């Protein structure tokens, strides 16, 4: 018989950047979230049904969950022996163990006033706007609004139902399955059939109007306050061309549609979610001043949302490709050539301290701009080594192979090294990603 401790799922997935986030002993297959929200008072009453599969014999397991009150927990319809809810973890001890490989269903009923999780990266998760809600959880804010295994290595499908006051428009990931109005409240139901990391799950609530921007290569739609209609129409008119370019270079768009949300509030930075990108009203000007940002967030649908890193140490893979996509779009749209963008940003990075290892920046520097720029320069170095034809053929194959799955630096290097065969790719990535000094062009 295994020891008792061997049946306890760990309260961490061992990510050195977020050691207290994520949970071992199981993987989540599906989240079904039923949310009832009052915008005026920021009150949430919700039920989460989590379908999971044990990866070991489980007598105890945990979920990431913060800031809300747990009312009831059941596992496969039965009350567990014990539940404990601390500031960041909901721990469940079972009467009957779940055997390795078995599927089980956890139902959590909860309520409260959701608020962001505060940490070294600022406020993450559920955030009240002046008149509405924004959810942006990277890297570990999902636990602010639903119990979860909050780590990018554990992707699942979702059903998200949210009821709120009828004057508001609600957006979430996936496709709108239904919208039902009754007694001054509307229930919106969204289904996400492609596996999604928890930090990419989102809710957006606002007094928005919508405009379909195009239907090719997929439907793309903007949601925005009515007073911003003119500038939104101008600033996002090239979105279809961006989609076409990235589909040509990276392969088919990985989801069924793409939406952009422009909030009535100003935001510090644009925000990514699966199938969505969120901008503040300060990010649009009616003069294409944010084309770079739009291209960056769109590229994340491939690099970050479909292809998702399995540990945060490898975040350069998300941000390097998204930043490089800005330069690809600039060249395509008549702006600086790739060579000019590479030279300019190399000069910028060269003037900064040479004390950051892009492939292992440490948690405090996860979002340092040097990761974005040096990551993009590393991508370009691989492109130059392989040549355009081999590079983009390999890139499309890499994207297709890992569609809706996890990626790592090791896997990236191994894949592209197989296209070269002489060890140069490993040396390039080592110089650009794992060495602090900036290599010369």
Q: CA-based angle 52:57:61, to the nearest 5? A: 55
Q: Is 323 within 8 Å of 296 (Cβ atoms)?
A: yes
Q: What is the largest CA-CA distance in the chain?
A: 69
Per-residue confidence (pLDDT) for residue 66, from 0 to 100: 97
Residues in CB range of 238: below 8 A, 6 or more apart:
288, 291, 294, 333
Structure-token pair, residue 163: 């009821």
Q: How many angstroms separate the CA atoms of 304 and 325, rounded?
A: 13
Q: Is 236 within 8 Å of 209 (Cβ atoms)?
A: no
Helix H or strand E segment including 64? strand 58-64
Predicted confidence band at 421 (pLDDT cuts at 50, 70, 90)? Answer: low
Q: Is 106 within 8 Å of 73 (Cβ atoms)?
A: yes
Q: CA-based angle 275:281:286, to the nearest 5? A: 95
Condensed to tens digits (0 to 9), the pLDDT of residues 244-300 reads: 999 999 999 999 999 999 999 999 999 999 999 999 999 999 999 999 999 999 999
- Angle (deg, nearest 10), helices 316-332 and 369-386: 70
- Burial call 200-220: b when 16+ CB within 10 Å, e when fewer: bbbbbbbebeeeebbeeebeb
Per-residue confidence (pLDDT) for residue 2, from 0 to 100: 38
- Single out the catalytic residue among 297, 393, 397, 426: 297
- DSSP-assigned letter for residue 234: H
CB atoms inside a 10 Å sphere around CB 177? 12
In the chain the domains, ranked by start, together with CATH numbers, are 4-206 (2.60.40.1730), 209-301 (3.30.2010.30), 309-433 (1.10.390.10)
Q: How many angstroms separate the CA atoms of 120 and 356, rounded?
A: 18
Predicted confidence band at 119 (pLDDT cuts at 50, 70, 90)? Answer: confident
Helix H or strand E segment including 91? strand 89-98
Predicted confidence band at 81 (pLDDT cuts at 50, 70, 90)? Answer: very high
Q: Is 294 within 8 Å of 239 (Cβ atoms)?
A: yes
- Single out the catalytic residue among 8, 17, 223, 372: 372
Structure-token pair, residue 161: 């139902």
Positions of E strands within 117-263:
117-119, 122-129, 132-136, 156-165, 169-172, 175-182, 185-196, 203-206, 209-214, 219-224, 257-262
- Mean pLDDT of all residues belonging to the chain: 96
- DSSP-assigned letter for residue 440: P
* Closest listed residue to residue 7, CA positions, set 50, 54, 53: 54
Helix H or strand E segment including 271? strand 271-273
Structure-token pair, residue 111: 């309520």
Mean pLDDT across 46-68: 98
Annotated binding site for Zn(2+): 296, 300, 319
Annotated binding site: 296, 300, 319
Res 319 pLDDT > 60:
yes
Helix H or strand E segment including 127? strand 122-129
Per-residue confidence (pLDDT) for residue 58, from 0 to 100: 97
Structure-token pair, residue 337: 């050539």
Q: How far is CA 230 from CA 226, 237, 239, 290, 343, in A?
A: 9, 11, 15, 15, 36
Structure-token pair, residue 358: 């892009």
Report phi then psi at 152, rounded to 5. Answer: -65, -15
- DSSP-assigned letter for residue 151: S
Q: How many angstroms separate the CA atoms of 55 and 74, rounded?
A: 20
Mean pLDDT across 430-434: 96
297 classed as catalytic: yes
pTM of the predicted model, to two decimals? Answer: 0.96
What residue spans of 387-439 are helical by DSSP H? Answer: 388-401, 409-417, 424-433
Residues in CB range of 169: below 8 A, 6 or more apart:
205, 206, 207, 208, 209, 210, 223
Sign of the dihedral through C-alpha 269, 324, 224, 140: negative
Predicted confidence band at 5 (pLDDT cuts at 50, 70, 90)? Answer: low
Per-residue confidence (pLDDT) for residue 159, from 0 to 100: 98
Q: Is 163 within 8 Å of 187 (Cβ atoms)?
A: yes
């Amino acid at each position: 018989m295994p020891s008792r401790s061997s049946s306890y799922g760990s309260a961490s997935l061992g990510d050195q950047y977020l050691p207290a986030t994520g949970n071992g002993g199981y993987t989540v297959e599906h989240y079904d979230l039923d949310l009832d929200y009052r915008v005026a008072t920021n009150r949430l009453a919700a039920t989460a049904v989590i379908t999971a599969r044990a990866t070991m014999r489980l007598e105890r397991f945990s979920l990431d969950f913060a800031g809300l009150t747990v009312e009831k927990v059941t596992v496969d319809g039965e009350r567990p022996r014990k539940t404990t809810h601390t500031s960041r973890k909901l721990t469940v001890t079972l009467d009957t163990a779940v055997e390795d490989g078995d599927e089980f269903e956890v139902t959590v009923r909860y309520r409260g006033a959701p608020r962001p999780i505060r940490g070294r990266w600022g406020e993450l998760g559920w955030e009240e706007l002046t008149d509405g809600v924004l959810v942006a959880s990277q890297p570990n804010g999902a636990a602010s609004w639903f119990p979860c295994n909050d780590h990018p290595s554990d992707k699942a499908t979702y059903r998200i139902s949210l009821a709120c006051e009828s004057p508001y428009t609600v957006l979430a990931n996936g496709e709108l399955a239904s919208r039902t109005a009754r007694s001054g409240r509307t229930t919106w139901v969204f289904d996400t059939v492609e596996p999604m990391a928890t930090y990419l799950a989102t809710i957006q609530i606002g007094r928005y109007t919508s405009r379909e921007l195009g239907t090719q290569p997929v439907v793309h739609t903007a949601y925005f306050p009515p007073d911003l209609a003119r500038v939104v129409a101008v600033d996002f008119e090239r979105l279809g061309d961006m989609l076409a370019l990235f589909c040509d270079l990276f392969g088919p768009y990985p989801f069924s549609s793409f939406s952009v949300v422009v909030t009535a509030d100003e935001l510090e930075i644009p925000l990514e979610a699966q199938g969505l990108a969120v901008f503040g009203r300060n990010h649009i000007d009616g003069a294409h001043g944010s084309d770079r940002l739009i291209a960056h967030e769109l590229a994340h649908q491939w690099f970050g949302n479909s292809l998702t890193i399995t540990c945060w140490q490898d975040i350069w893979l998300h941000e390097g490709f998204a930043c490089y996509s800005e330069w690809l779009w600039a060249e395509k749209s008549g702006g600086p050539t790739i060579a000019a963008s590479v030279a300019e940003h190399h000069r910028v990075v060269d003037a900064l301290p040479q004390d950051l290892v892009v492939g292992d920046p440490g948690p405090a520097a996860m979002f340092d701009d040097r990761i974005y720029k040096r990551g993009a320069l590393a991508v370009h170095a691989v492109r130059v080594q392989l040549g355009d034809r081999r590079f983009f053929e390999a890139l499309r194959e890499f994207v297709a192979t890992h569609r809706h799955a996890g990626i790592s630096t090791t896997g990236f290097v191994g894949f592209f090294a197989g296209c070269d065969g002489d060890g140069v790719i490993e040396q390039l990535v080592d110089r650009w990603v794992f060495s602090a000094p900036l290599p010369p062009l």
